[in-house]
Chains A and B, each alone.
Chain A
Amino acid sequence: MIPAPFTYHRPKSLAEATGLLVDLKDEARVVAGGQSLIPIMKLRLAAPDHLIDLAAIAELKGIARGATSITIGAMTTQAELINSSVLAESVPILRETALQIADPQVRYQGTLGGNVANGDPGNDMPAIMMCLDASYRLVGRAGARTVKARDFYLGTYVTALNAGEILTAIDIPVPPAGHGFAYAKLKRKIGDYATAAAGVVLTVSGGKIQTCAIALSNLADTAVAADAAAKAVIGTALDRTALSAAAQAARGVMAPAADARGTVEYRTDVGGTMVKRALQAAFARAKG
C-alpha cells in the first residue's frame, strides 16, 4: 500500500510551519507521530498534496513543570509520557492512559499532540484532558490562543482548530496531591480502540468525594464529559447507590456507534461498567 504522491516539508521552526500551512492552505496537512495519518494515507483515505512534518521543531517537545501547571509540548511521544518521572509523580493518570494506547512501537512514535488534535473519538487522551481540565495552545500566523479541552471537540474529526493553526502544547493544572485517578478501558485486544472507556480524577476528604471529573472515550461522536455522573458521587463515600447513579447518569451522555466492537446497547452497558470501575479504582487510590 503506497500513499498518493505528496511534497514533504520539514520546517525547523513553528513560524516556518504555520507559514507553510497558511501558504499551502487545504492542500497541506501537518503530521506529528504519523501513527494515525500515515496508515490512512496508505489507504488513500487521506491524500494531502503537502505533508508538513513537525518532527524537527524543537520547541514542540518537552515536559515543563510550573508552580501550578504542567506544560507538555505537542510532539512529546506517548513513550516519553510513560517514562517521565515528573508526570508519574504529578499527573499519574497520563502514564496509566498512555500505557493503554496502541502498542510499544506506536507509543514510541505517537504523540500527545496528535492524539488530542486528531479529533478521533477513539483516541484516549481527549477524555483524560477533559478530566484534568487541560487547555490546548493553538498557534497560527495571526497569533496564539488557548482553548479548553472541554470546548475543543465539535464532532468526529471536527475540532476548534482553525485552518492554518497548529496545536503546539497542552497545559494541565496539576491535580491536588493525594488525588485519585483511573482510566478504565475495555478493548478487544491490545492495540484496539476502546469498546468503552472512562477516565476519572477525584479528591477525597473525610472519606467523602469532594471533587470529581469523569469523561468517556469512544462512546459518542467525540470524547465527552459526564458531568451529571460526577455530580452524582460528590459528597458520597461511593456507596452502591452512588455508583449506580453515576453509571446511569453517564449512560445518558453516551451515543456509541454500533460496530465490530458491539451494539449500541452493549457498548452503553459496558460504558457504565467502565465508569464504575474507574470510580472505584480512583476512590481506592485517593488519600483523604
Chain B
Amino acid sequence: MAKTHVTMTVNGEPAEGLVEPRTLLIHFIRENLSLTGAHIGCETSHCGACTVDLDGRSVKSCSMFAVQAQGAQITTIEGMAHADGTLHALQEGFRMMHGLQCGFCTPGMIMRAHRLLQENKTPTEDEIRFGIAGNLCRCTGYQNIVKAIQYAADKLNGVPHKEAAE
C-alpha cells in the first residue's frame, strides 16, 4: 500500500513521516515519533489511555488515522512540563495528591484534564467526573485523580489548595 507523507506539529515541534493510510495516530506517535507517553490500552476506544490534545480537542488517538491529523497541532504528555523541566500543574497535582497507582492511565487522564480545565477553569467535582468519563483507571483510583485535577485547577487559578491527600 502506497505511503503518504504527513506533517503535523507535536509538542510545538514540526513532525513528519511516511505512513500507510491505515496507520492509527497512536501508532504514528509512538512508533514514528518515539513518543511513548500516550498509551495503547484497550484499543477499542473505551479506555482513553491514548488521549492526546489535537487542535483544541481531546481525542482518542487509537480511533483516528495519522493521515487525518495532517496539519494538526498535537500535544502529548511529553509536551506538558515547562521548558525548564518543572512540572505542569496537573503533573504536580497527580504527584501531590497520589493521583496514580500503576500509572498506565495517567498520560491520558492528564491530557483529558488539560482540555477540561481549558474549557472550565473551576469545575465542580461532578463536572470533573463527567469530564473524565472517557478515561478508565483500572486501579480505580478515581478519588485521588479528581483531587489531583482540583489541585491543578486551584494552582492554575492562583487559589490555595486545602484538600489533603489520602
Indicate if the CB atoms of A3 and B22 lie closer than 8 Å: yes
Is B114 part of the contact surface with A, judged by Cβ < 8 Å?
no
Q: Which residue from B57, B62, B132 sits with its C-beta under 8 Å from A108?
A: B57
Is A79 part of the contact surface with B, judged by Cβ < 8 Å?
yes
Q: Which residue from B23, B27, B62, B134 sits with its C-beta under 8 Å from A104?
A: B134
* CB-nearest residue of chain B to A4: B22
Indicate if the CB atoms of A53 and B57 lie closer than 8 Å: no
Stretch at the interface among A19-27, A31-39, A116-124: A31-39
Known contacts A38-B64, A53-B68, A104 near B131 by CB under 8 Å:
yes
CB under 8 Å from chain B, chain A span 1-44: 1-8, 10, 34-35, 38-39, 41-42
Is A103 part of the contact surface with B, judged by Cβ < 8 Å?
yes
On chain A, the number of residues with a Cβ less than 8 Å from chain B's Cβ atoms is 28
Indicate if the CB atoms of A108 and B58 lie closer than 8 Å: yes
Is A102 part of the contact surface with B, judged by Cβ < 8 Å?
yes
| Listed residue (B27, B51, B112, B134) with the most chain A CB atoms within 10 angstroms of its CB | B134
Indicate if the CB atoms of A6 and B134 lie closer than 8 Å: no
Q: Which residue from A6, A102, A109 sits with its C-beta under 8 Å from B22?
A: A6
Q: How far is the CA of A41 from the CA of B21 in the complex (A)?
A: 12
Min C-beta distance of B78 to chain A, whole Å = 19
Known contacts A35-B45, A102-B134, A104-B134, A2 near B58 by CB under 8 Å:
no
Q: How far is the CA of A34 from the CA of B51 in the complex (A)?
A: 16
Indicate if the CB atoms of B68 and A104 lie closer than 8 Å: no
Indicate if the CB atoms of B63 and A34 lie closer than 8 Å: yes
Q: How far is the CA of A42 from the CA of B43 in the complex (A)?
A: 9
Q: How far is the CA of A175 from the CA of B133 in the complex (A)?
A: 31
Residues of chain B contacted by A191 (CB below 8 angstroms): 46, 133-134
Per-residue B-contact encoding for A102-113, CB less than 8 Å = 1, 0 else: 111110110000
Is A70 part of the contact surface with B, judged by Cβ < 8 Å?
no
Q: How large is the interface on B (under 10, 10 to 19, 20 to 34, 35 or more residues)?
A: 20 to 34
Min C-beta distance of B155 to chain A, whole Å = 22
Residues of chain B contacted by A10 (CB below 8 angstroms): 67
Is B20 part of the contact surface with A, judged by Cβ < 8 Å?
yes
CB under 8 Å from chain A, chain B span 65-113: 65, 67-68, 112
Min C-beta distance of B127 to chain A, whole Å = 11
Residues of chain A contacted by B21 (CB below 8 angstroms): 5-8, 51
Indicate if the CB atoms of B134 and A103 lie closer than 8 Å: yes
Min C-beta distance of B153 to chain A, whole Å = 16
Min C-beta distance of A77 to chain B, whole Å = 8
Indicate if the CB atoms of A103 and B59 lie closer than 8 Å: no
Per-residue A-contact encoding for B105-132, CB less than 8 Å = 1, 0 else: 0000000100010000000000000111
Indicate if the CB atoms of A8 and B57 lie closer than 8 Å: no
Known contacts A6-B21, A79-B57, A109-B63, A39 near B112 by CB under 8 Å:
no
Per-residue B-contact encoding for A86-99, CB less than 8 Å = 1, 0 else: 00000000000000
Min C-beta distance of B47 to chain A, whole Å = 10
Q: How far is the CA of A102 from the CA of B116 in the complex (A)?
A: 16
Q: Which residue from A4, A79, A105 sits with its C-beta under 8 Å from B51?
A: A105
Min C-beta distance of B117 to chain A, whole Å = 13
Q: Which residue from A8, A39, A108 sits with its C-beta under 8 Å from B4?
A: A8
Min C-beta distance of A31 to chain B, whole Å = 9
* CB-nearest residue of chain A to B133: A190
Known: A3-B22, A39-B45, A109-B64. 15 other contacts (CB 8 A): A2-B24, A5-B1, A7-B2, A7-B21, A10-B67, A38-B65, A42-B43, A51-B21, A104-B58, A104-B132, A104-B134, A106-B45, A106-B134, A190-B133, A191-B46
B→A interface (CB under 8 Å) = 1-2, 4, 20-24, 27, 43-46, 48, 51, 57-60, 62-65, 67-68, 112, 116, 130-134
What are 14 residue pairs bridging A and B, where the CB atoms are less than 8 Å apart in the complex? A1-B44, A5-B20, A6-B1, A8-B21, A35-B63, A42-B24, A42-B43, A102-B134, A104-B58, A104-B134, A105-B48, A105-B58, A108-B58, A109-B57
